[in-house]
Amino acid sequence: MIAIVLMFLIGCGRPAADKKHFSVWKNNSQQMLSDEEVKSEIDQKIKRVHLFLKNEHLDGILLTQVRNFYWITAGLGNNQIVLNKDNGAASLLIMKDGSRHLICSGSESGRLMDEALGRLGYQLHMYDWYEANPTKDIRGDIIKEISKGGKIGSDVPYPGTTLLDTRFKKLRYSLTDSELKRYRWLGKQTTEAVAEVCREVQPEMDEYEIEAMTAGALRSRGIIPTVLLSAVDDRITKYRHALPGGAKLQKYAMINVVAEKWGMPIAVTRFVHFGPLPDELSQKIEKTAKVNAQVEEATVPGKSCADIFELYKQWYAEAGYPDEWKKHHQGGAIGYDDREFVIYPKVEETVQERQAFAWNPTITGTKVENTIIAFKDHIEVVTTSDDWPMIKIELNGKTYPQPGILIR
């Protein structure tokens, strides 16, 4: 059903896909990394996994979640067939003895082994599709045979394994050099897609048309939207999460997306306004931009995320909107989930070196949302686009450029 909807969105409300975007997609989808970069990334991750196995006293870990499948294969392996499912159609079993195993039906085995996992050193354990069913699941026997009855962890509930999904996901937090390479490309392309739509929308277009244009701009770049919110005029002020409802654009439009490739999501929000900004809206976006600059400045490796949450409340109060933080979550870490975690009071998370974050402060009618990377001496914004109006916020001798509202 979702695939049909996406096809509809891509085909509606937008001219035939721009060939230059297909060129970008084709030239960057599979060949972005060299074989050496892929090997280096996977070697680093296998080391993290083996240390995790040692610390958790495990003989192996079973990975079935789509995000973990992508992560451990450097974005090359994709076990997701149904787009609205977190769990994929194949599993990887990584053992402490160094062996790597693919467990799947014949429906997936050829594609996965031919296109990725064969060259990554995985051994195939294939079963017929009907052998994994509610009355008898042969996968349990396969796992026991591989592990020789050892203790196995899993990122999904599975008989005979220990569920460790929340602890395992922390292995994804710190991005490798080659992950950063992919993420920078993805951030730029996602933001350019959203900016393109902001420049193309016209008054009297409805929210469904804007949604379709945005989906098309992303898919033509080989990027899949997983969150796609488009709202216009008073629906922006009335609803924090404004799903398209068919209202027609008069003056003001918002496009908010989370979009992914290689299992890595990017979050970005942009606004466009026809005619001069009202004073109140201009003041609100500047104050929201300052809050976002302040949280970017505070995103330092080693910083307590609970402390950042308390600072958020202080920054809103200083902006003159002490209760706005209560009306929408304030964002958090990103990377392989649309939010690896969202910050909240007393959250037990700490900013990691090379960790991605997507903060999203809002003051009614405005929002600033970028995706950034935390380094020990600076942050890097990956959601950039050419010629977008920026608001320059100065904090402690540093400039933190923030996206403003495009005026047309």
Q: Could you please report the per-residue DSSP string of 98-134? A: S-EEEEEEHHHHHHHIIIIITTTTPEEEEE-GGGBSS
Closest CA to 225 of 266, 180, 184: 266
Report the C-alpha gap between 406 and 388 in whole angstroms: 7
Mean pLDDT of 183-190: 97
* Model confidence band, residue 32 (pLDDT cutoffs 50, 70, 90): confident
Distances (CA, A) of 173 to 53, 73, 367: 17, 15, 25
Residues in CB range of 388: below 8 A, 6 or more apart = 195, 270, 403, 404, 406
Strands 152-154 and 60-65: parallel
Residue 160 φ/ψ region, left for φ over 0, alpha for ψ in the -120 to 50 degree band, beta for the rest: left
Distances (CA, A) of 20 to 23, 217, 220, 221, 373: 5, 11, 9, 9, 28
Q: DSSP label at 163?
A: E
Mean pLDDT of 381-388: 94
* Model confidence band, residue 31 (pLDDT cutoffs 50, 70, 90): low
* Model confidence band, residue 339 (pLDDT cutoffs 50, 70, 90): very high
Predicted confidence at residue 317, as pLDDT, reads 98
Comparing 202-206, 239-243, 265-269, the range with the smallest average pLDDT is: 239-243
Comparing 28-37, 221-230, 390-399, the range with the smallest average pLDDT is: 28-37
| pLDDT tens-digit map of 53-69 | 999 999 999 999 999 99
* Model confidence band, residue 84 (pLDDT cutoffs 50, 70, 90): confident
More confident site: 286 or 27: 286
Mean pLDDT of 178-193: 98
Report the C-alpha gap between 317 and 325 in whole angstroms: 9
More confident site: 32 or 377: 377
Q: Which residue has the tokens 């979009």?
A: 259
More confident site: 401 or 10: 401
Predicted confidence at residue 9, as pLDDT, reads 44
Predicted confidence at residue 30, as pLDDT, reads 54
- The full DSSP string for 326-364 is GGS--EEEESSSS-SEE--TT---BPPTTEEEEE--EET
| pLDDT tens-digit map of 224-258 | 999 999 999 999 999 999 999 999 999 999 999 99
| Burial class of residue 226, CB neighbours in 10 A (0-12, 13-18, 19+) | middle
* Model confidence band, residue 21 (pLDDT cutoffs 50, 70, 90): low
Domains in the chain (CATH in brackets) are 35-172 (3.40.350.10), 177-407 (3.90.230.10)
Predicted confidence at residue 281, as pLDDT, reads 98
Predicted confidence at residue 1, as pLDDT, reads 41
Mean pLDDT of 354-374: 98
Quote the percentage of the chain above a pLDDT of 70: 92
| Burial class of residue 216, CB neighbours in 10 A (0-12, 13-18, 19+) | buried
